[in-house]
Structure 1
Amino acid sequence: MGFFVARAPLSPPPLKLLCCDTSQCRRQRHGTLSRGGCLCGAVRITTSGPPLRVGICHCRDCRRHHGALFYAAAIFPTQAVHIEGRPHHYKGRHSCGTCGSSVFAQTGDEIEVHLGSLDDTNGLTPEYEVSCRRREDWLPQFTGTACHDRDRGGD
């Protein structure tokens, strides 16, 4: 994938997705930082600034990928996300190769940071739900979310 920095093949250090070159630059330029990672700590993620949006997905692919009835993510521009470690990927979904935790996904120029992978999700409230036609009837309604049968713009 083109958004990782390549390293020497013998003893490769972690791959990195960089917004800025220094943490001081990230703090001054973007303000808020969110951190998280996988269960074992081999893959770590830092986001800068507020997300573009926060949402919930009920689609079959997300259900199978996460082993759950739905998943929630904060979506950031690629340049606002810094990844450390060597995540494995399958069709744009990235997980830890050691513990298997799903950490993020990439679609185009956006990174979907899985809320469950963040150390603190305070303030990251979902605004919408997609694939609501697959939503379980017994799930309670989430306050303040718009529910779309398919994608946000493609009901």
Structure 2
Amino acid sequence: MKLSGGCSCGQVRYEVDGDPIRVGICHCETCRKESGSAFSFFGIWPKENTTLSGELGCWKSRAGCRRVSHDGSDKIEIKLGTLERSPSALVLAYELWTVRREPWLAHQKRAEQHTRDRGSAEQS
């Protein structure tokens, strides 16, 4: 599967090849502010499967270019709303920070539920 998209400012374009490592949504305060919504919807891909054009130099600790993030590791995070095509073929695997989920938003029944960050001892 090849997907492409770009950030809202137009400075960064990307293409990812293959399935994501994982797909999730996060309800934490930072993700809410970055997305301007009640949660953030993202996918994680291996950096080696990603082609980027443009400068990610503004990215610092989940700020700056908030649509495509790379922290120097071997993975890259992409906000799925930046895809050119609908992300409907991608399967949601987990929800983070469910303690902050809006009460009017139902939990995703097939997704792992994490009260806070993934891998923390607390799961709902």
Equivalent residue number for residue 104 of structure 2: 138
Q: Percent same amino acid among aligned pairs?
A: 36
One-letter identity of the residue aligned with 1:151? D
* TM-score, L = length of structure 1: 0.68
C-alpha change, 1:94 and 1:109, in structure 2 (3 Å) is farther
> Which structure has the highest strand share of the two?
1
Q: Aligned-residue CA RMSD in angstroms?
A: 1.7
- 1:2-13 equivalences under 5 Å are none
The aligned amino acid for 2:18 is: G
Which residue is 2:76 aligned to?
Answer: 111
Unpaired runs of at least 5, structure 1: 1-31, 96-101
2:12 matches 1:48 = no
**TM-score, length of structure 2 as denominator length:** 0.83
Larger Rg: 1
SS of equivalent residue, structure 2 residue 32: helix
SS in 1 for 2:67: strand
Report the AA paired with residue 26 of structure 2. C
Q: Look up the SS of the partner of 1:72 in the other structure.
A: strand
> What's the CA shift for 1:94?
4.9
- 2:34 equivalent among 56, 65, 70: 65
Task: Tell me by how many angstroms 1:141 deviates.
Answer: 2.7
- CA–CA distance in structure 2, aligned partners of residues 94 and 106 of structure 1: 11
Gaps of 5+ in 2: none
- The DSSP-based 3-state class of the residue aligned with 2:10 is coil
1:151 alignment partner in structure 2: 117
SS at 1:122 equivalent: helix
Counterpart residue number, 1:39 = 8
How many Å separate the matches in 1 of 2:16 and 2:97?
A: 26
Contact 2:14–2:50 (CA under 8 A) maintained in structure 1: yes
Structure 1 distance, partners of 2:6, 2:106, is 28
Deviation of 1:118 (Å): 0.8
Q: 1:140: Cα distance to partner?
A: 2.3
Aligned residues: 118
Q: Secondary structure at the match of 1:45?
A: strand
